[in-house]
Structure 1
């Protein structure tokens, strides 16, 4: 009906290298931003400090 498979049995699709690189770069930048904001606003987010207390 659909014909024979192009890939060997059990093989997964591999994204082009540029997609994998861009995905890794965007994921890393997201984590860097989250860690930066946690460093700046961590005590406020955890309730250890009030945002209006400077």
Structure 2
């Protein structure tokens, strides 16, 4: 069996979360922005069909 957990300093939280590296933060922002740009582009092209305002075979 495992022993007792080591004690942290008084007032310190036992879980330490490391800061995110700037490269990962920049990559996540870029990927999420490209996702939203693509969604808005497809909504502009196919939004009426998706909402049922127009049929895809109507030109």
What TM-score do the two structures reach when normalised by structure 1? 0.78
Structure 2 unaligned segments of length 5 or more: list them: none
Partner of 1:15, secondary structure, is: coil
What is the CA RMSD across the aligned residues, in angstroms?
Answer: 2.3
Aligned to 1:49: 54
Structure 1 stretches of at least 4 aligned residues deviating more than 4 Å after TM superposition: none
- Bigger helix share: 1
Aligned length: 52
